């Protein structure tokens, strides 16, 4: 009765874990949340104020499917300011979260039966956006030797007749690792030579530590960028993202947007205009510094307990820890850790089929104090 594609669309195991964590909290247990892929910071005050103003001024009607012009221009201008890249605002499409952008890209690029290559481990929804349009997600196992990223060589090796697109993420969820400019350039050249389409997830752009951020748009206009106000700008629940599309896809993406979601939230679009204010920028940069501090604390602390990080994650707010010396079953480990010590983490299983039992994702989306408490509890749990 249920459509067949649903058999391959798994739930997020972390949801079940989260529900259990909340239930335990409800019964009075103290829980340390290191599972949540959402900053603990509130939406910056200037954005909140802009949102309230938008409501007060009646910005509650439909916008064009591709978003309000002001916001598209503000994003284009930000690429110029931040990275020195000229982006035609016509190429910036505002979407309901980056989820909306992924739908538009898969809908306009992928025919049934065509394959989209991506890294395993990776963001679990990606493969399902491909499934939804009857495409074939091809998740290629990657390890620490390539920073848990696809490389030009891997893409060349894995390319097949029906490969249509390649998707990379920098910084990556769950690994927090980056692609540098040279790596991304090499990837682009391979994909281009094969006549494919490159999709670059920059959702965690801005959240990098100790390195200079860049955008794939510095390399070429001939790719899709996915981005979002959720992570760097702390606007998760507003559901607002954007994409930058190659010229030739704009019209089709616009038409598809008109049909499948009409437009992104209007109050959210007006609120997001305040994301580019100096005041907001100062707030989010201070938060980035806080995330850096947390990473710099958490990584060595976990390492001391036996979790391994063959490569230092330089972005996002995740550590993807190899736990093979501690457990052979990260899923069971996560459940036991929650029940015994009240620490919630995400088992590798949510991110693919590439040795997931050996990995745990720790999110540093909670305060240093709580991270320290979490580390203490984990130490007790594993007897170190």
Instruction: Give which of 122, 162, 166, 118 is closest to 140, Cα–Cα.
Output: 118
Instruction: Confirm or reject binding of residue 193 to a copy of itself (CB under 8 A).
Output: no
Instruction: Please state, as a whole number, how many other Cβ atoms lie within 10 Å of the Cβ of residue 25.
Output: 14
Cα 126 to chain center, whole Å?
10
Cis peptide, bond prior to residue 340, ω within 30 of zero:
no
Buried b (16+ CB within 10 A) or exposed e, 47-66: beebbeebeeeebeeebebb
The CA-CA-CA angle for residues 283, 281, 220, to 5°, reads 140
Largest CA distance in the chain: 59
Q: Given the complex with a copy of itself, which of 132 and 372 has the nearer CB atom?
A: 132
Other CB atoms within 10 A of residue 342 CB: 19
d(CA 202, CA 239): 16
10 scored as a contact of a copy of itself (CB under 8 A): yes
The dihedral built from the CA positions of residue 230, 236, 238 and 244, taken in this order, carries a sign that is: positive
Among 46, 67, 89, 107, binds a copy of itself (CB under 8 A): 107
Q: Which stretch binds a copy of itself (CB under 8 A): 127-135, 136-144, 340-348, 353-361?
A: 127-135
DSSP state string for 146-197: GTTS--HHHHHHH--TTEEEEEEESSPTTT-----HHHHHHHHHHHHHTT-E
In whole angstroms, what separates CA 364 from the centre of its chain? 14
Q: Which of 132, 290, 305, 372 binds a copy of itself (CB under 8 A)?
A: 132
Q: Which stretch binds a copy of itself (CB under 8 A): 6-14, 25-33, 185-193, 278-286?
A: 6-14
| Cα–Cα dist 63/185, whole Å | 36
Applying CB under 8 A, the span of 73-81, 100-108, 172-180, 207-215 interacting with a copy of itself comes to: 100-108
- Of the ranges 36-44, 139-147, 303-311, 351-359, which one interacts with a copy of itself (CB under 8 A)? 36-44
Among 17, 35, 43, 323, binds a copy of itself (CB under 8 A): 43
- Applying CB under 8 A, does 61 fall inside the site for a copy of itself? yes
Among 178, 268, 323, 344, binds a copy of itself (CB under 8 A): 268
Q: Tell me whether residue 177 or residue 227 sits nearer to a copy of itself (CB atom).
A: 227
Q: Are 97 and 253 in contact (CB under 8 A)?
A: no
Nearest CB to a copy of itself, comparing residues 109 and 115:
109
Q: Whose Cβ is closer to a copy of itself: residue 183's or residue 269's?
A: 269
Report the residue from 33, 46, 51, 140 that binds a copy of itself according to the rule CB under 8 A: 51
Q: Does 311 bind a copy of itself (CB under 8 A)?
A: no
Region binding a copy of itself by CB under 8 A among candidate stretches 85-93, 154-162, 257-265, 341-349: 257-265
| The binder of a copy of itself chosen from 88, 160, 162, 259 (CB under 8 A) | 259
In the bound state with a copy of itself, the residue whose beta carbon lies nearer, of 44 and 213, is 44
Return residues touching a copy of itself (CB under 8 A): 1-6, 9-12, 15, 38, 42-43, 48, 51-52, 55-56, 58-63, 65, 96-97, 99-100, 103, 107-112, 124-125, 128-129, 132-134, 234-239, 248-249, 252, 254-256, 258-268
């Amino acid at each position: 009765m249920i459509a067949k594609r649903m058999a391959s669309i798994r739930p997020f195991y972390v949801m079940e874990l989260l529900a259990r964590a909340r239930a335990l909290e409800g019964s009075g247990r103290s829980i340390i949340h290191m599972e949540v892929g959402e900053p603990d910071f509130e939406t910056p005050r200037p954005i909140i104020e802009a949102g309230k103003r938008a409501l007060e001024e009646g910005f509650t009607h439909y916008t064009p499917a591709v978003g309000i012009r002001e916001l598209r221009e503000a994003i284009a201008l930000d690429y110029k300011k931040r990275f020195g890249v000229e982006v035609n605002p016509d190429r910036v499409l505002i979407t309901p979260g980056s989820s909306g952008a992924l739908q538009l890209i898969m809908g306009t690029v992928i025919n049934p039966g065509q394959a989209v290559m991506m890294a395993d481990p990776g963001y679990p929804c990606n493969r399902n956006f491909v499934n939804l349009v009857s495409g074939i997600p091809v998740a290629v196992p990657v390890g620490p030797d390539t920073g848990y990223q696809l490389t030009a060589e891997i893409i060349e090796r894995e390319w097949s007749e029906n490969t249509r697109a390649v998707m990379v993420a920098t910084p990556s969820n769950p690994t927090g690792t980056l692609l540098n400019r040279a790596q991304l350039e090499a990837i682009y050249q391979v994909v281009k030579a094969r006549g494919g389409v490159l999709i670059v997830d920059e959702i965690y752009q801005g959240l990098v530590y100790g390195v200079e951020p860049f955008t794939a748009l510095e390399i070429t206009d001939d790719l899709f960028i996915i981005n979002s106000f959720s992570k760097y700008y702390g606007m998760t629940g507003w559901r607002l993202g954007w994409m930058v599309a190659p010229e030739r896809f704009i019209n089709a993406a616009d038409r598809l947007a008109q049909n499948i979601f009409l437009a992104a939230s209007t109050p959210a679009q007006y609120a997001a205009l305040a994301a580019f204010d100096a005041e907001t920028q100062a707030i989010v940069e201070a938060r980035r510094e806080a995330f850096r501090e947390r990473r710099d604390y958490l990584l060595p602390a976990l390492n001391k307990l036996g979790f391994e990080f063959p490569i230092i994650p330089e972005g996002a707010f995740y550590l993807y820890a190899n736990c093979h010396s501690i457990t052979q079953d990260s899923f069971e480990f996560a459940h036991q850790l929650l029940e015994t010590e009240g620490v919630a983490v995400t088992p590798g299983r949510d991110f693919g089929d590439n040795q997931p039992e050996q990995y745990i994702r720790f999110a540093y989306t909670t305060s240093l104090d709580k991270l320290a408490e979490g580390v203490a509890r984990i130490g007790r749990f594993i007897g170190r």
